[in-house]
Structure 1
Amino acid sequence: MKPDLYQVGFVIVILIAMFMFLKYTFFKPVSKVMDDREAEIATGSATKHQAAAEIEQRQADYAARLRELRGQAFERRKELATEATHQKDVLLDEARRKALHQRSVAREALEAQQEQAKVQLTAEVDALSESMVLHLLKQA
């Protein structure tokens, strides 16, 4: 069997017609769907990169704000510590002044009591010495 040129040509024409039919009815819509899907994936990837960049930016802003707030907190603690030290010094000075005043008042009271005791003891010694003298004179 020898192939007939008419039959070969007919098969070739039918193959070309089938190819064109399939190309426009099957392959073109499938290619379009694949291209659309690829475009959506690319858009999603771009959106993902944009969201990642925005998240990075927000994290950087958060870190900067956190550093700033920590610095402010440190400064505030430093101010409070300075103020507390100042108040402590003021209270200590006032307590020292009160203690010195009480000490001087107590010293004055003790000196007054000492003088009074001296006067009283001197009076008692004088009374005892007079009584001893009188007693000795009576015996003699």
Structure 2
Amino acid sequence: MTNNEIIFETVRANFTPAQLAELVAATYTAEQIAARRAGVKITVAEGSDETPDAVFHAMLAADTFHTFAEWKRMGYSVKKGQHAALVCNLWKYTDKPGKAAKEAAAAAGQDAPETDPHFYMAKSHLFNALQVEKSKR
């Protein structure tokens, strides 16, 4: 699963359709919602209690969740007193050697490699668009 898929599934599991619709309505204009909806075809399994609109709102809402660092990079700051709306494990990239690579090198009597590019799961705290404001700087 990609990070976007993980966030989407976590949003669907933790928020009600009404909460997602409220978040989408507060974040996007009616024109933006209509334009995105026109470009997406959503089908749900027969017999499922989900509606295409609920899936669409979850998809739009998931796009509004970012980490503290990502909001800061985009020029926003988290409002004072806000706590993460979602906590989940996301993929993180590093080029530093992991514990297993160091142990394998030590067991082979070699120095640990200087770089060992890989991804690993890390706990991430995500904030939605209603929890941030444009930075004053």
Shared topology, TM-score over 0.5? no
Higher alpha-carbon Rg: 1
Give the strand-richer structure, 1 or 2. 2
TM-score, normalization by structure 2: 0.16
TM-score, normalization by structure 1: 0.15
